[in-house]
Amino acid sequence: MEGLSRKEVELIESLEYEHKQFFTSKDIDTLAKNKTQRYNIIKSLLKKKRIVKLNKTKYYLIPFKAKEGSWSEHPFIVADEACNGADYFIGGWSAGHYWHLTDQIPMQVDISTTKRQGKLKILNTRLVFHRTSPKRIQSAVIEKIGEHPFRIITKNKARKWIRSRR
């Protein structure tokens, strides 16, 4: 690939070979000599838009087959990985659309979590984080997209939420 160093190409190839689209900085320790080199590789790949930062420690790899650096992943999978698979659930219009309660395609994914709040744009997906209690998180159900699990509110709670918005 043009514009990538030998070390960056080696890193991307090894992650793709291991089928690691989502990875942490510790996953690339074997290729870097020290923390400084690891930091510089990550910083360079972020600048070249070959990886996307999801949270403090987790990144998403844009595969080689994405020539221009644009790629898409299902928003629920991105939300699950951004929250490290725990202490969250997907709600709002996204949950209503998932449960086929509305035909409206949501413009954002509403995520209720105990850890963070605010807005984040990752891979053309707008994630909006809302604070909630651990008790509400326990009532979420686990569904799957392909082989990847994610947490979402129940169909009845999504129905109640949609009715409250009309």
d(CA 82, CA 142): 16
| 61 C-beta neighbours (distance < 10 Å), count | 20
Predicted pLDDT of residue 25 = 84
For residue 164, is pLDDT > 70?
Answer: yes
Confidence of residue 71 (pLDDT cuts 50, 70, 90): low
Beta strands in the chain (DSSP E): 22-24, 51-53, 58-61, 88-91, 109-113, 118-122, 125-131, 141-145, 148-152
Predicted pLDDT of residue 67 = 62
pLDDT in tens, 96-136: 999 999 998 899 999 999 988 899 888 788 999 999 999 99
pTM to 2 decimal places? 0.82
Predicted pLDDT of residue 113 = 93
For residue 160, is pLDDT > 70?
Answer: yes
pLDDT in tens, 14-67: 888 888 889 988 888 878 888 898 888 899 989 988 888 988 889 988 877 766
- 145 sits in the region (left: phi over 0; alpha: psi -120 to 50; else beta) called beta
Predicted pLDDT of residue 1 = 45
